[in-house]
């Protein structure tokens, strides 16, 4: 892949030196502002965006704001100076995303958003947004357990409270229990805070308490590993674990039997759908049918991994998006 991942310093220098040099009439350049390329979720999404750009013959300029509000503003200023044809923003927050959207609006450059639904009062004028719906993952996890083990007593090893992500998962769990509460029961919810060690401690404590459970829903793959280690130490590895995300590590856990299933949300699809939204608008003048598109939840079991889309399988993600649209 021919990447153009630039530091902001380089990008600003390039903009100053290149100025308004005309490109070929039929060529397009899209900018992409990453919130933090050391975050693997953002990294794989940005790589997918670049892959889609390459397939379409579009140049992609990816700028990393390094989880800094100031750097993200500088990145937007650089892309505006370069007179790119469209911009995709992976913001730090909805509020910061709105700030960047409005900067693009003032410059007359079409802009799209990923990873946030932009459900705030004044988000600016953006084409569309694509994001993961954590409540749907929580819902699908409980639904999967109910279908595969009616009467299950579930231990929910949850993420950290307070940041809003766990709370969305919990909304989905609650909705599933309202519909399926006669089939499954959550007997304990303990917070592993996304960490392997803490999930191990939570699971060990629950086992020691004598509370009976026969299924685990872990909020991410790292916690699934901790839960499994605790089960292994107590000769209880017959208890299945469902996890979420579908990261490269998650796939290994499916293959090794640590996880019985994973509610995957391939982030590569997010990057490619974001590109498609931008390309369709800029090149073809097409508005998306939906202002918000949810990242699909694809349940994958250890018994059949054929539907798994690896985060770095950009071709599979590309085919998924373009076949669905």
Predicted confidence pLDDT, tens digits, the chain (325 residues)? 544 455 454 454 454 444 444 344 578 999 999 999 998 899 999 999 999 999 999 999 999 999 999 999 999 999 999 999 999 999 998 899 999 999 999 999 999 999 998 988 899 999 999 999 999 999 999 999 999 999 999 999 999 998 788 999 999 999 999 999 899 999 999 999 999 999 999 999 999 999 999 999 999 999 999 999 999 999 999 999 999 988 888 899 999 999 999 999 999 999 999 999 999 999 999 999 999 999 999 999 999 999 999 999 999 999 999 998 7
How many domains are there within the chain? Answer: 2
Write out the DSSP string of 151-209.
T-EEEEEE--TTSSHHHHHHHHHHHHHHHHTTT-EEEEEEE-TT-HHHHHHHHHHHHHH
Q: Do 32 and 9 fall into the same domain?
A: yes
Q: Do 169 and 234 fall into the same domain?
A: yes
Encode burial over 76-101: b for 16+ CB neighbours within 10 A, e otherwise: bbbbbbbbbbbbbbbbbebebbbbbb
Residue with tokens 């450059």: 109
Q: Do 53 and 115 fall into the same domain?
A: yes
Distance, CA of 251 to CA of 239 (rounded, Å) = 19
Q: Do 103 and 49 fall into the same domain?
A: yes
The DSSP call for residue 239 is S
Distance, CA of 319 to CA of 104 (rounded, Å) = 30
CATH code, domain with 98: 3.40.50.2300
Residue with tokens 């279908």: 147
CB distance 180 to 142 below 8 Å: yes
Last residue of a domain, one of 249, 264, 279: 264
Q: Assess if residue 306 is contained within a domain.
A: no
Distance, CA of 34 to CA of 43 (rounded, Å) = 8
CB distance 90 to 35 below 8 Å: yes
Q: Assess if residue 251 is contained within a domain.
A: yes
Distance, CA of 285 to CA of 49 (rounded, Å) = 19
pLDDT, residue 8, reads 52
Type and span of the H or E element at 216:
strand 215-218
Q: Assess if residue 110 is contained within a domain.
A: yes
Q: Assess if residue 282 is contained within a domain.
A: yes
- Pick from 203, 211, 205, 137: nearest CA to 176: 137
Q: Do 51 and 89 fall into the same domain?
A: yes
* Chain centre distance of CA 306: 21
Q: Do 290 and 216 fall into the same domain?
A: no
Pairing label, strands 111-114, 86-89: parallel
- Pick from 50, 132, 295, 27: nearest CA to 63: 50
Helices (H), the chain: 8-18, 40-56, 69-81, 94-107, 134-148, 165-180, 196-209, 221-233, 248-256, 267-284, 314-324
Q: Do 113 and 175 fall into the same domain?
A: no
Q: Do 153 and 258 fall into the same domain?
A: yes
Q: Assess if residue 155 is contained within a domain.
A: yes
Torsions phi, psi for 114 (to 5 deg): -130, 155
CA distances from 148 to 133, 263, 300 (A): 23, 14, 13
Q: Assess if residue 188 is contained within a domain.
A: yes
Q: Do 111 and 11 fall into the same domain?
A: yes
Containing domain of residue 40, as a range? 5-131+267-295
Q: Do 140 and 34 fall into the same domain?
A: no
Q: Do 39 and 108 fall into the same domain?
A: yes
Q: Assess if residue 274 is contained within a domain.
A: yes
The DSSP call for residue 252 is H
Q: Assess if residue 216 is contained within a domain.
A: yes
Q: Do 56 and 17 fall into the same domain?
A: yes
């Amino acid at each position: 892949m021919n990447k153009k991942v630039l530091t902001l310093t380089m990008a600003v220098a390039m903009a100053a030196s290149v100025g308004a040099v005309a490109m070929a009439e039929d060529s397009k350049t899209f900018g992409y502002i990453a919130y933090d390329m050391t975050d693997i979720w953002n990294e794989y999404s940005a790589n997918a965006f670049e892959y889609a750009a390459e397939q379409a013959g579009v140049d992609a300029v990816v700028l990393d704001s390094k989880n800094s509000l100031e750097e993200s503003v500088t990145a937007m200023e650089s892309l505006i100076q370069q007179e790119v044809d469209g911009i995709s923003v992976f913001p730090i927050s909805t509020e910061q995303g709105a700030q960047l959207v409005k900067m693009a609006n003032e410059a007359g450059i079409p802009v799209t958003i990923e990873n946030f639904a932009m459900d705030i009062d004044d988000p600016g004028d953006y084409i569309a947004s694509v994001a993961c719906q954590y409540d749907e993952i929580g819902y699908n996890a409980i639904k999967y357990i109910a279908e595969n083990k009616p009467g299950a007593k579930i231990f929910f090893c949850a993420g950290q409270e307070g940041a809003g992500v766990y709370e969305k998962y919990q909304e989905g769990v609650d909705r599933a229990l309202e519909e399926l509460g006669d089939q499954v029961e959550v007997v304990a919810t303990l917070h592993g805070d996304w960490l392997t060690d803490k999930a191990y401690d939570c699971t060990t404590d629950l086992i020691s308490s004598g509370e009976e459970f026969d299924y685990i829903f872990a909020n991410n793959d790292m916690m699934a590993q901790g839960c499994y280690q605790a089960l292994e130490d107590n000769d209880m590895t017959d208890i299945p674990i469902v996890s979420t995300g579908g990261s490269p590590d998650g796939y290994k856990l499916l293959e090794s039997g640590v996880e019985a299933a994973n509610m995957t949300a391939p982030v590569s699809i997010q990057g490619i759908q974001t590109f498609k939204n931008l390309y369709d608008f800029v090149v073809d003048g097409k508005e998306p049918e939906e202002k918000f598109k949810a990242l699909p939840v694809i349940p994958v079991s250890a018994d059949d991994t054929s539907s798994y889309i690896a985060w770095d399988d950009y071709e599979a993600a590309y085919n998924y998006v373009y076949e669905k649209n």
